[in-house]
Amino acid sequence: MTTQTILVIEDEQKIARWVRAYFEEAGFRVLLAADGPTGLHLARAERPDLLVLDLMLPGMDGLDVCRTLRRETDVPIIILTARGTETDRILGLELGADDYVVKPFSPGELVARARAVLRRAHGEVRPPETLRGGDITLDLTAHTCTVRGEPVELSPTQFSLLEALMRHSGRALTREQLLTAALDVAYDGYDRAVDVHIRRLRKRVEEEPSNPRHIVTVFGVGYKFVE
């Protein structure tokens, strides 16, 4: 099995070395960058399997790095930040990050979250399978989505959310169920990650995202897929 590469863009050297040690112990190849421009260059040149991206970076902040990379690639991104306010978290997710970890953090949790994001990004071996609902087709083998016959790019998290919803078409799923299915992490009762990702997903697959036909809100419960 090919060793997966993690690019850690973090300007605090102590944290960077600490994170690298834990990822290397877990069997990953790790690249380090201490500023935004260098991190962006390495991301383009090395094509890592996953980025761990700090927000507060010299030269170019993490949000700009995330925004730039999302225009070029669907590489999974985990934001690592001391800015733990809900606004900062939501902004990172809106820009296309797949997950976030707030400092101070457990290195074990970071590695676990990275593994979960990578599973979603690369998929696990499964028989050919296609989900269809209305004008949306999800190819689980090729990891592709088409809407009204046109290909649509989805992030790994968006793809997993849509898969969970389509597998349970017509059934209301709670945020906890969706978070477990798509993000593979525990729901803490306050995490708005699901709402942010659903909003981004609607922009990708709905003709009118503000008036969705397929991914509908079930007030007081969560969301469901309607064919």
Q: Which of 27-31, 132-136, 172-176 has the highest mean pLDDT?
A: 27-31
Q: Judge whether residue 128 has pLDDT over 60.
A: no
| Percent over 70 (pLDDT), the chain | 89
Q: Tell me the C-alpha distance between 80 and 64, whole Å.
A: 14
Output Rg (C-alpha) for the chain, integer angstroms: 17
Q: CA of 35: how far to CAs of 23, 67, 127, 199, in Å?
A: 20, 15, 42, 31
Query: How many domains are contained in the chain?
Result: 2
Helix intervals (H) in 73-155 = 86-94, 107-122
Q: Tell me the C-alpha distance between 191 and 14, whole Å.
A: 29
| Over residues 189-211, mean pLDDT | 85
| Percent over 90 (pLDDT), the chain | 42
On whether both 37 and 136 belong to a single domain, the answer is no
On whether both 21 and 104 belong to a single domain, the answer is yes
Report the DSSP pairing between strands 50-54 and 77-81.
parallel
The mean of the pLDDT values for the chain is 85
On whether both 171 and 91 belong to a single domain, the answer is no
| Over residues 65-86, mean pLDDT | 84
Domain span at residue 65? 5-122
Query: SS3 helix, strand, coil % of the chain, rounded to 5?
Result: 40, 20, 35
On whether both 87 and 174 belong to a single domain, the answer is no
| Over residues 22-32, mean pLDDT | 92
SS3 206: coil
Q: What pTM value is reported for the model? A: 0.60
User: What CATH number is given to the structural domain containing 200?
Assistant: 1.10.10.10
Q: Judge whether residue 178 has pLDDT over 50.
A: yes
| pLDDT value at residue 68 | 93
Whether 170 contacts 227, CB under 8 Å:
yes
On whether both 11 and 100 belong to a single domain, the answer is yes
Q: Judge whether residue 72 has pLDDT over 80.
A: yes
On whether both 170 and 81 belong to a single domain, the answer is no
Q: Judge whether residue 86 has pLDDT over 70.
A: no
Q: Which residues contact 89 (CB under 8 A, 6 or more apart)?
A: 79, 100, 102, 192, 193
Whether 15 contacts 56, CB under 8 Å:
no
48 confidence band (pLDDT: 50, 70, 90): very high
| pLDDT value at residue 136 | 94
SS3 225: strand
On whether both 109 and 155 belong to a single domain, the answer is no
| pLDDT value at residue 187 | 53
| pLDDT value at residue 126 | 47
Peptide bond into 209 cis (omega under 30): no
On whether both 47 and 155 belong to a single domain, the answer is no
Q: Tell me the C-alpha distance between 66 and 223, whole Å.
A: 27
On whether both 166 and 57 belong to a single domain, the answer is no
Q: Which two tokens stand for residue 5?
A: 């590469």
Domain boundary among 93, 122, 151: 122
| pLDDT value at residue 125 | 43
| pLDDT tens-digit map of 138-170 | 988 778 899 998 999 888 888 888 988 998 888
On whether both 161 and 185 belong to a single domain, the answer is yes
Closest CA to 201 of 76, 50, 96, 72: 96
Domain boundary among 82, 105, 122: 122
52 confidence band (pLDDT: 50, 70, 90): very high
206 confidence band (pLDDT: 50, 70, 90): very high
Give buried/exposed letters for 144-167 (b at 16+ CB in 10 A, else e): ebebeeeebebbbbbbbbbbbbbb
On whether both 12 and 97 belong to a single domain, the answer is yes
Q: Pick the residue with more confidence: 116 or 66?
A: 66
On whether both 9 and 118 belong to a single domain, the answer is yes
Domain boundary among 103, 122, 141: 122
Q: Pick the residue with more confidence: 119 or 217?
A: 217
Whether 74 contacts 143, CB under 8 Å:
no
